[in-house]
Amino acid sequence: MTRKYWKGLEELKETPEFIKHKEQEFPNQQTIEEFLSDDKLSETSTARRDFLKFLGFSVAAATLAACEAPVTKVVPYVNKPEDVTPGMPTWYTSTYYDGNSYASILVKTREARPIFIKGNKDFGFTKGGVNPQIVASVLGLYDGERLTKPTAGGTVASWSSIDKAVSSALKSAKSVTLLTNTVISPSMKRAIAEMSVAMNGEAGSKFQHIQYDAVSYAGMREANMSNFGARIIPSYDFSKAKTIVSVDADFLNSWLLSTEFTGQYAATRNPDAAWMSKHIQFETVMSITGSNADYRGMIKPSEQATVLAYIIKGLGGNPGVSADLSKADPSTKAAADVAIKALKKSKKESLVVSGSNNIGVQQLTNKLNNLLQAYGTTIDLSNPINLFQSEDAQVAKFVKDVVAGNGPDVLLMMDVNPVYTLPNGDAFAKGLKKIKTSVAISAYADETAALCSYVCPGFHALESWSDFEAKASEYAVSQPTIRPLGEDTASALESLLVWNGSAVRGGKDSSVAYDYIKATFAAKFPTADFAMTVHNSVMPQAIVPSTLVYADAKIAALPKAADVEVSFYQKAGIGTGAHANNPWLQELPDPITKVTWDNYVTMNPVEMKAKGFVTTYDQEHGLNLTTVKVNGKSVTLPVYPLPGQALNTIGIALGYGRGANGEKIGKAAFQTKEYGGHELNDAGNRKPIGANVYAMVTTGATFEYSAAATVGAAEGLYPIAATQIHHTVMGRHSIVRETTLGIYQNNDKEAYNPAHTLQKLDAHGNHVEAPVSEFDLWDAHPVEKIGHRWGISIDLSSCIGCGTCLIACQSENNVPVVGKDEVRRGREMHWLRIDRYFASDEEAAVGTRKDKETFSYDKAELAAENPKVVHMPLMCHHCNHAPCETVCPVAATTHSNEGLNQMAYNRCIGTRYCANNCPYKVRRFNWFNYPAYKKFTEVNPAQDDLGRMVLNPDVTVRTRGVMEKCSLCVQRIQATKLTAKKEAREIIDGEFATACSDACPTHAITVGDWNDLKSMIRSKSENNRAYQALEEVGVKPNVWYQVKVRNEENSLLTAIQSEADHASNKQHH
Amino acid sequence: MEISRIQLLKRLKSLAFVTLTFGFVGLTNFTKAQGEALFKSKCATCHQTHKNSTGPKLFQVRDKWAAGGAKEGSIFMWVNNWQNAVAADPYAAEVSKWSPTAMAAFPDLKKEDITAIFDWIDAQPDPATVTNTGGPMDPSKTEMDPAEEEGSVGWIWIVMGVIFIVVILAVGGVRRQLKIATSDNPETQEKLTYAEELRSIAWKYRLWVGLGSLVTVIAIVVTLFQSLYRINVMEEYQPSQPIAFPHDRHAGVNGIDCKYCHNSVTKSKSAGIPSVNVCMNCHKQIDGTGKPFAGEIKKIYAAAGWDLSSGAGKYTGHTKPIVWNKVHVLPDHVYFNHSQHVVVGGVDCKQCHGDMKTMNETAKVQPVSELNKIEGNVQLTKPTLTMGWCIECHGKKDVTIGNGKNAYYDEIHRRLKKDPALYKKYYKDGKVSVSELGGWECAKCHY
């Protein structure tokens, strides 16, 4: 296997646009000639001299205005709460659960405003693991379109009137259905049980509780029902798995409890540990998990069962279904053979997971795991996961009834949006209108709530008390971190209790829910201290060892094959669509495609070429639209060239197309115009972003997230805003370094991580190779011995490219959101980006071209069908010999004696020389006044009073015309130093964490004081895998990378790197 | 010379005697000062000498207890922990009913300390009978603002200048008229206009006119730049406040420590405007009845929701935050941390805020000239609250490192020693200044 890395197909093919733009940091700048020749210019009424007059006047006016010092008000507390010190953050433990992700978290508040969320590393089984959605959820708290008052029939009503109406409706109704997402709250379960008892008595059937998740995992539960007799999902422990085989399970991004799995997985990816896991992925769409795999097979969704059967057969089992992989992509059989070999070796220390919701596929997975005896080692049946309890058959029957007009008399809905997430949402909406009394407990008047008779706004997770039991082994609590922002909102738990007649409304500062949760806790743990549990956020629970035994069962119906199959997947940012109104997540570049603000059809570029789709795009040239038809439903979306996509398949992400009828779900969920304002459709409604493909989900025994599809011909072009083709690496392949575990273990550093050398003349006038560090243009900064020297080390083996760091950085550093149009122009403002490099067969590894003479980008194109991927987070490198500093005409960017490249915004005059001179292209220019300019009103949260509350008061909000970049979280450095000084102690290694290192679920980012000889960063920077990107440029950065190590066989790379090793040894001896 | 054992003992004895004598003399002085210091640090927040406040007045309290039939020594027990005293002495139990607000325990105060405090209190004259040296705050007092005063002086100069120019022109005109009138040549009368004449005069005295113009232009440019540099200089800034708060009365006369009210100064970046409940600690008792400033205290009650109509007073729960006008305003792009300066740097409040004990009007930004007059302040030249002022101090102020008192700075010192050349350079002036440790770097205050 040989490969080369490239940033995009444009780079791979060197299209004319690419070549034109690759030298430019900021593409497509209008020349002065172009500007002056603009016809519109002469139409303007302002003459040049008038303009100068205006200019003069405004300068004078501004000067005069500046003379008057504004009066700043300061309003102290009347009664200061004891635990709040103005100017100091207060951290609260809490728990995050939105029906899709779960994590133990820490919430940072300033003056009682939550401003930052990170994982709780000390408590909870998620061990600090979070995903971008969880970190970004703090912004959702401040969404201006969240409901603030309850409504009845669309008009604002009082709680008392609604409570009266709902209670009496519940009493008089013949049938009541409570439709919720999976309830993991013991208190909520208790309230629902009480409700059931009150209405059903001992054996009535009036009240029914149905759990319905946007994305169902019912297939797993049903498969376990057939194999173990229990409808459970067991716990998985990836940290014990020496071989991981995943069949379309994106367990590092969206599958099941990814917040727990990422940390476990990363622990097995350390090449310096006793062993390193081997990860084989079979999937349709290139996912985050697939991009991190050692081996990756491209399969159609219908081939999942075949792959599992092939492996079962290979291990000597009898799959009972076809195990013929001859029709599959060659990569699949190769990877499956590797999997068989590895599984045979690791036996019960293996784990096979499947992302399918097909019962049959899950049964095969169970069979394989049983064959490997993984139950009891990597799979724990005695500690089941309580998430995703959706029972699809029950849901389907209920939906059928509602659609047919036979719905219940009263329908209570809580945290569900069936009109949006059901395959037949439109029909359900019609049926919903026929229901006598429909009540929605929802934060927004979303697709479903907007149609209900009563809408009862609940609390945001950060405003309410709640308890959780995500796993049998752990009880968890969440506590409010802010007084409810909504004028007249109420806890969902309280609403249920009130309607059931077991509580009375407590108003805004009600303690009904709190008391109820405390009572639940007291009943559960009679001797435990609730306050201490809130402090820790979790409480371990004893689990009963499982007695479940595997039994073979008849394999249920498997997905049918089709010519073209579509796979529906979840993106890292948007997920199921619940956070579609979060501008941070919309602007989060997709970890694989790097596209922001859009939904698209993914297709392998090889196939796209054959079908006549354009496969390259840039700022001005978009991608072709096409119409995809599934089960008679169709959507029109752009087609994105995604290497690694299985041939004859396409992928479309769920979670887009929210608010199709202009529902008030948050202004960032809709398309915006070039100069601000929302795009409107013919009906005058705001246009949603992307299209909703839940409607295409296959309804069988369970909801299945794949289907047969037909793809139409290429239509017109559609602009795409991706961060992918910007910030090129100029083909300098000293950026990413990669090796295999075998080479790493058996060879010297010179093999896989050779030092950069340059030629110089020695004393005798001979040319000799000397290390780059010997060549210096500048005087050294005195940072190596005195004071601190802050640095970052990023382990490319651990980094999975999830994007959590990027969102954490955005949250910590008040990074503005700029919207699709500006991202398209390459003006995104993220201080930290994650470069994703695809590999091709033209190179053995980065910088080690297979054959330098015959290397060709054109040839590489054909080999890019199923590339390996490297994710590389890149932020300011804080170079000790920073090229940006020397070119600043006003000394706005300077070096500190702690090794930081500091940026003084108030000095900056915006020449942008620094950005031009930065070899890493990490500087960002404020083209606009993002917190005020109308173009960004819909996207930038800093533009409204509510959204502004999320800003970190310790970091300046930058204005137009200044440069900005990663500051290495200097505000945190200063705070850490100050704490140490005040406590008269040295700084403890690990005490200082940047937002990115704090948030990283895989601990790939290490920060610290390099001058502290015992520090982690020091040892990381000096180990054999450490290298610096673009070291040969001689800028002496304070950022180190660790060579990526893949646990694979790569004979070509072995040959090349071993040869390099020998050559260097020869030179040395 | 060898001294015998007895001699040695004798010498030691005399030495001990001398030491003890001096020690005792020192002690009497010391206890007085100590009594005052202890009172101000431990008691003054709740107690006054001659007036009841949060706690009862303490003047001759020992006699009061003795007269009330308290047990011997129970008052000391009370101070250490009042609950112990209540348990031991019925009189103390009686005293505990004085107020629902419980007294804090001071277990670390020794009997001598407590005696010293009481001695000092009893030696204090009743302020009601003596003239107050600090001067009570009188909101009706109309004192001309210094800035205003200076401004009016400026206007006088301008008016005088204008009059002067008018006089010169008038005199010149008269002179010209006279000249024309007395002139024999009628041509001059026609040809030379006023402007032409001026021009010819200017040409005649071109050297002086040229020099004069040059000086004027330079003066204008210098003035312009100086005035531009004064833009947003906050010196003398003294916004009006919703409550005429006299710092001199609180911090001066009553000796309340700055940190009692501005209590986040040691913890946080902001010193904090005291919350109303802090005011109420004392002002529950001090309502200013009959004083000219009673109206101001009523404003606190309005904010706290304190209802006095029912006699003893009670909280109504209807609070209204006080909206103050911020005096020391730093721009948003400046990060300033009070705790860094006060706790770590050991900088006194006076260094930047001036002597608030003497400030009998609402707070204002003290000009640097005033700050320089205060004893112990680092002498600075740049206007208060400007960046020049900050970095000037960072350049002058030293940081004590490597003295074993702060492990953080000890480590910095150890690392610094690894670079002998730099170490020598830093210690050339015998100290390490803030700037040498990086206090002049942009990202120390701007991020």
Rounded to 10 degrees, what is the CA torsion of A232, A238, A243, A246?
60
Q: How far is CA A56 from CA A48, B192, B221, in A?
A: 12, 39, 18
Confidence of residue A1002 (pLDDT cuts 50, 70, 90): very high
Domains and CATH numbers, chain B: 5-122 (1.10.760.10), 155-229 (no CATH), 398-444 (no CATH)
Compare A1056 and A411 and report the one with higher pLDDT: A411
Å between B171 CA and nearest CA of chain A: 37
Give the mean model confidence (pLDDT) for residues B294-320: 84
Lowest mean pLDDT among A458-472, A1028-1042, B183-197: B183-197
Query: In percent, how much of chain B has pLDDT > 90?
Result: 15
pLDDT at site A67: 52
Give the mean model confidence (pLDDT) for residues B226-251: 85
Please check the confidence at residue B184 and state whether its pLDDT lies above 90.
no
A to B CB pairs, distance under 8 Å: 165
In sequence order, the 6+-apart residues with CB closer than 8 A to the CB of A641 are A9, A603, A604, A605, A608, A613, A615, A616, A623
At residue B46's C-alpha, the angle toward residues B44 and B48, to 5°, is 60
Contact flag B408-A987 (C-beta cutoff 8 Å): yes
Nearest CA in chain B to A981: B408
Which strand (E) or helix (H) includes residue B127? none
Lowest mean pLDDT among A427-441, B5-19, B122-136: B5-19
pLDDT at site A60: 64
Contact flag B321-A900 (C-beta cutoff 8 Å): no
Beta carbons of A538 and A124 less than 8 angstroms apart: yes
Q: How far is CA B238 from CA A404, B147, B241, B295, B365, in A?
A: 74, 10, 9, 21, 7
Contact flag A78-B343 (C-beta cutoff 8 Å): no
Rg (alpha carbons) of chain B, rounded to whole number = 34
Say how far apart CA A835 and CA A801 lie, in whole Å. 9
Nearest CA in chain A to B277: A79
Å between B38 CA and nearest CA of chain A: 25
Confidence of residue B135 (pLDDT cuts 50, 70, 90): very low
pLDDT at site B138: 40
Nearest CA in chain B to A958: B333
pLDDT at site A933: 92
Query: In percent, how much of chain A has pLDDT > 70?
Result: 90
Q: Chain A, 851-910: which have a CB under 8 Å from a chain B CB? A: 894, 896-898, 900, 902-907
pLDDT at site B120: 83
Amino acid code (one letter) for A767:
H
Give the mean model confidence (pLDDT) for residues A17-41: 60
Contact flag A902-B441 (C-beta cutoff 8 Å): yes
Give the mean model confidence (pLDDT) for residues B300-324: 85
Give the mean model confidence (pLDDT) for residues A57-61: 63
pLDDT at site B149: 42
The mean predicted confidence, pLDDT, of chain A is 88
Please check the confidence at residue A728 and state whether its pLDDT lies above 50.
no
Compare B229 and A77 and report the one with higher pLDDT: A77
Q: Which of A78, A785, A898 faces B275 most closely, judged by CB atoms? A: A78
Å between B1 CA and nearest CA of chain A: 50
pLDDT per position as a tens digit, A663-719: 999 999 999 998 889 999 888 899 999 999 999 998 888 999 999 999 998 888 999
Say how far apart CA A937 and CA A819 lie, in whole Å. 10
Q: Which of A69, A957, A971 faces B237 most closely, judged by CB atoms? A: A69
Please check the confidence at residue A369 and state whether its pLDDT lies above 70.
yes
Q: Which of B303, B332, B447 faces A971 most closely, judged by CB atoms? A: B447
Beta carbons of B284 and B278 less than 8 angstroms apart: no
SS3 breakdown of chain A: % helix, strand, coil, rounded to 5?
30, 20, 50
Amino acid code (one letter) for A857:
Y
Beta carbons of A553 and A227 less than 8 angstroms apart: yes
Residue of A964, A977, A981 to mutate for B, most B C-beta atoms under 10 A: A981
Contact flag A970-B443 (C-beta cutoff 8 Å): yes
Amino acid code (one letter) for A422:
L
pLDDT per position as a tens digit, A594-630: 999 999 999 998 899 899 999 888 888 899 999 999 9
Q: Which of B232, B239, B273 faces A76 most closely, judged by CB atoms? A: B273
Å between B112 CA and nearest CA of chain A: 32
What is the β-pairing status of strands A176-180 and A207-211? parallel
Domains and CATH numbers, chain A: 151-215+390-464+489-509 (3.40.50.740), 218-385 (3.40.228.10), 565-653+694-718 (2.40.40.20), 754-832+875-1042 (no CATH)
Å between A273 CA and nearest CA of chain B: 33
Contact flag B234-A63 (C-beta cutoff 8 Å): no
Q: Chain A, 268-297: which have a CB under 8 Å from a chain B CB? A: none
Nearest CA in chain B to A84: B264
3-state secondary structure A904-969: CCCCCCCCCHHHHHCCCCCCEECCCCCCCCHHHCCCCHHHCCCHHHHCCCCCCCCCCCCEECCCCC
Please check the confidence at residue B51 and state whether its pLDDT lies above 60.
yes
Give the mean model confidence (pLDDT) for residues B129-140: 43
Say how far apart CA A170 and CA A162 lie, in whole Å. 12
Beta carbons of B94 and B68 less than 8 angstroms apart: yes
Rank A861-870, B297-306, B353-362 by mean pLDDT and report only the highest.
B297-306
Say how far apart CA B381 and CA A76 lie, in whole Å. 33
pLDDT per position as a tens digit, B381-439: 988 988 999 999 999 998 888 788 899 999 989 888 888 888 898 888 888 899 988 89
pLDDT at site A262: 95
pLDDT at site B115: 86
Beta carbons of A704 and A698 less than 8 angstroms apart: yes
Please check the confidence at residue A30 and state whether its pLDDT lies above 80.
no
pLDDT per position as a tens digit, A170-191: 999 999 999 999 999 999 999 9
pLDDT at site A774: 81
Give SS3 for A1046.
strand
Contact flag B411-A75 (C-beta cutoff 8 Å): no
Q: Which DSSP string do the residues of B4-53 spell out, in sequence order?
A: -HHHHHHHHHHHHHHHHHHHHHHHHHHHHHHHHHHIIIIITTT--SSS-S
Say how far apart CA B383 and CA B226 lie, in whole Å. 12
Q: Which of B234, B344, B411 faces A982 most closely, judged by CB atoms? A: B344
pLDDT at site A248: 94
Q: Which of B319, B323, B406 faces A73 most closely, judged by CB atoms? A: B323
Å between A331 CA and nearest CA of chain B: 50
pLDDT per position as a tens digit, A639-651: 999 989 999 999 9
Nearest CA in chain B to A986: B408
Confidence of residue A1062 (pLDDT cuts 50, 70, 90): confident
Please check the confidence at residue A863 and state whether its pLDDT lies above 50.
no
At residue A797's C-alpha, the angle toward residues A915 and A121, to 5°, is 90
